[in-house]
Amino acid sequence: MTEAFDAVDVIRAKRDGARLSPAQIDWVVDAYTRGVVADEQMSALAMAIFLNGMERAEISRWTEAMIRSGERMDFSGLDRPTADKHSTGGVGDKITLPLAPLVAVFGVAVPQLSGRGLGHTGGTLDKLEAIPGWRAGLSNEEILAQLGDVGAVICAAGSGLAPADKKLYALRDTSATVESIPLIASSIMSKKIAEGTGSLVLDVKVGTGAFMKDRHRAGELAQTMVELGTDAGVRTVALLTDMSTPLGLTVGNALEVRESVEVLAGGGPADVVELTVALAREMLDAAGRRDADPAAALADGRAMDVWRRMIAAQDGDPDAALPVARHTEQVLADRDGVVTVLDAYAVGVASWRLGAGRARKEDPVQAGAGIELHAKPGDRVRAGQPLMTLHTDTPERFARAQEALEGGVTVSAQETPRPHGIVLGRVAG
C-alpha cells in the first residue's frame, strides 16, 4: 500500500507552525492507529502541537479522525433524548453517582461511560465496584437495553471507542505533552462524541486538586471542548467548578458511595448537592427538559428509586452493606481556630496512599480505604478536635498518608471570608 503522506513531512509542517490540512490529519491519525507511523514520530508531532498549538478547524478534524478510528454508538432508537456529563477529575468527585439517576427521572437517557482512578483523582467505576455484585462491563446491547428500561447506565467504555486516542493517550504521558490543550480536548471529546449522546455537559475542575490549576487555562480548555462538541453537532455546555477543596466530606470508594446515597436520600453535604443540581439543570436544559426541578426529585425520593434500579440492573445489591476498612486513625487540630485551607491535592494524595487509588492502571484498590472529613474551610474547631479520619486495611500506610497531609490543612486564629460558591463560570457554544 502506498501511503498518501510521509510522517516526517507532517511533523515538519507542524514544527514550523503550519496549519495541517484535513487530509494530513486524517492520514496521520489513521496511519498511527495502523502502526505505520511509529511512536517516536507521533511523539515528535505531539510535541510540535504542544509548542505551536492548533486552530479550531484542525482540532475539530483531529477529533473526527480519532472518532473514525473506532466504532460510534447510536442511541437514535431510544424513545427519549440523551445527555451525558464529563468531569476532568478531582478529589471526592462523586457527582456522577447521584447525577445519572437524577437526570433519568425526567425522561432523559444518561449513557455515562466512565473510567477508573489514577493517582490522586478517584474513578467512578472503582467507587461503584465497592457495591457487592455490581458489574462495570456491559455490551453495547446491554447498555441500550438498560437505557430503554431504567434510563441511566454507568459503565466502562468499550475498547472499540476511539482506539487512536488510547494509543496517543499513553504516548502523551511519556513525551511530556499531557498539558497540550488541543490534545487534551480532542482526547476527551473524541470518546464523548463517539458515545453517541445528543447533548453533553462538561465539569471542568479548577484548583489544586484538579488537572488544571489555573482558571485561565481551565477556561481555555472548556472553550475548546465546547467548540469541538458544537462542531460535531452535540449541544455542549461547560461549567468551571472549584477543586481547591475536596467535594463533600468523603474521599475514597465505598465512603463516596455512602455519601452519594445520602444525597439521593435528600441529605448529604451542601456542596455535593449544589453541584449535582447545577449539572442536572444544565443536562436537562440541553435535552429540552427546561421545566424540570431536579432539587425536588432528590428531596422526594424519585432519584433514589432510579438509583436502586440502575444498580440492580448491573447485578449490584443496593441494600448490601458497603465495605469498611479494618483500621482507622484520626488527624487532630493542633490549635483553636478556623479551618482556612483544606488542600484538595494533599487530601487526594493521602487517600491514594491509604489504598483508595492506584499508581498504575493495573494496581488494585481497597474499597474501604479513604478519608472522612470532619471540618471544611470556614468551620471553627478546637485543639484536639478530629479534622479527619483516615481509613485503610493496611495500617503501615498511615505514616505516608500523614506525610502527604503536612501543610495541607491550616487552622488560623483569624476568621477569613467564607468560601465562594462551587460554580465559578459557564461556557456555552
Angle at 340 between CA 339 and CA 344, to 5 degrees: 95
Specify whether the CB–CB gap between 131 and 307 falls below 8 A: no
pLDDT classification of 283: cutoffs 50, 70, 90: very high
Q: Which helix (H) or strand (E) holds 410?
A: strand 409-412
pLDDT mean over 212-224: 95
Residue 252 has pLDDT above 90, yes or no: yes
83-319 and 327-412 have identical folds: no
Distance from C-alpha of 263 to C-alpha of 188, rounded to nearest angstrom: 28
Residue 116: the pLDDT is 78
Q: Over 80: is that where the pLDDT of 117 sits?
A: no
Look up the CATH number of domain 7-53: 1.20.970.10
Neighbours of 396 (CB within 10 A): 8
Closest CA to 350 of 396, 387, 399, 385: 399
- The three-state secondary structure class of 20 is coil
Give the pLDDT confidence of 184-202 residue by residue, as tens digits.
999 999 999 999 999 999 9
**Active-site annotation holder among 69, 187, 199, 244:** 187
pLDDT in tens, 288-316: 999 999 999 999 999 999 999 999 999 99
Write phi, then psi, for 336 (nearest 5 degrees).
Answer: -75, 145
Q: Which amino acid is at 30?
A: D
**pLDDT higher than 70, residue 171:** yes
pTM for the full predicted model: 0.93
Instruction: Tell me, yes or no, if 165 is annotated catalytic.
Output: yes
Average pLDDT over residues 206-233: 95
**Mean of per-residue pLDDT scores for the chain:** 94
108: pLDDT strictly greater than 80: yes
What percentage of the chain exceeds 70 in pLDDT?
Answer: 98
The band of 363, judged by pLDDT with boundaries at 50, 70 and 90, is: confident
**Integer Rg of the chain from CA:** 22
DSSP 9: H
Element (H, E) at 239: strand 235-242
Contact 117, 357 (CB under 8 A): yes
Sign of CA dihedral 35, 40, 44, 47: positive
Work out the average pLDDT over 84-100. 95
Integer Cα distance of 9 and 14 in angstroms: 9
DSSP one-letter string for 272-304: HHHHHHHHHHHHHHHTT-TT--HHHHHHTSHHH
User: What residue spans define the domains of the chain?
Assistant: 7-53, 83-319, 327-412
CATH code assigned to 83-319: 3.40.1030.10
**How far is Cα 279 from Cα 428, in angstroms, rounded to an integer?**
13
- How much of the chain exceeds pLDDT 90, in percent? 84
Is the pLDDT at 418 greater than 70? The verdict is: no
Helix (H) or strand (E) holding 402: helix 398-405
| Cβ neighbours of 348 (radius 10 Å) | 31
Strand runs labelled E in 71-171: 83-87, 110-114, 152-156
Among residues 112, 106, 44, 49, which one has the least CA distance to residue 81? 106
Would you state the torsion angle of the CA atoms of residues 138, 143, 149, 151, taken in this order, to the nearest 10 degrees?
110
Length of the chain: 429
Catalytic residue, from 116, 166, 167, 172: name it. 172
Is residue 419 scored above 70 in pLDDT? no
For residue 425, the SS3 value is strand
With CA atoms as reference, report the closest residue to 96 among 264, 336, 334.
264
What was the pLDDT predicted at 408? 95
Catalytic residue (one of 86, 167, 302, 391): 86
Kindly give the residue spans of alpha helices, DSSP state H, lying in 16-156. Answer: 22-34, 39-52, 56-68, 96-104, 124-128, 140-149
Instruction: Tell me if residue 397 is catalytic.
Output: no
Residue whose C-alpha cell reads 458497603 in the numeric block: 322
Active-site position among 165, 203, 231, 343: 165
Average pLDDT over residues 60-66: 96
What would the pLDDT profile of 147-162 be if each residue is shown by its tens digit? 999 999 999 987 788 8
Sole residue written with cell 455512602: 258
- Collect all residues with Cβ–Cβ distance below 8 Å to 95 and sequence separation of at least 6: 85, 87, 203, 247, 272, 275, 276, 279
Distance between CA 420 and CA 259 in Å, rounded? 22
69 flagged as catalytic: no
Is 326 designated active site?
Answer: no
| Helix axis angle, 344-351 to 398-405, nearest 10° | 170
Kindly tell me if the per-residue pLDDT of 211 is higher than 90.
no
Active site residue 191: yes
Residues 290 and 325: their CA atoms lie apart, in Å, by: 43
Distance CA 188, CA 398 (A): 35
Residue 15 has pLDDT above 80, yes or no: yes
327-412: CATH, from 3.50.50.60, 3.40.1410.10, 3.40.50.1100, 3.90.1170.30: 3.90.1170.30
Q: How far is CA 46 from the centre of its chain?
A: 23
Query: What is the pLDDT averaged over residues 32-48?
Result: 95
Q: Phi/psi at 251 (nearest 5 deg)?
A: -135, 120
Which pLDDT score, from 0 to 100, does residue 414 have? 79
Q: What is the pLDDT of residue 4?
A: 83
Residue 189 to residues 161, 183, 231, Cα–Cα distance (Å): 11, 10, 11
pLDDT at 206: 96
Choosing from 191, 205, 308, 397, the catalytic residue is: 191
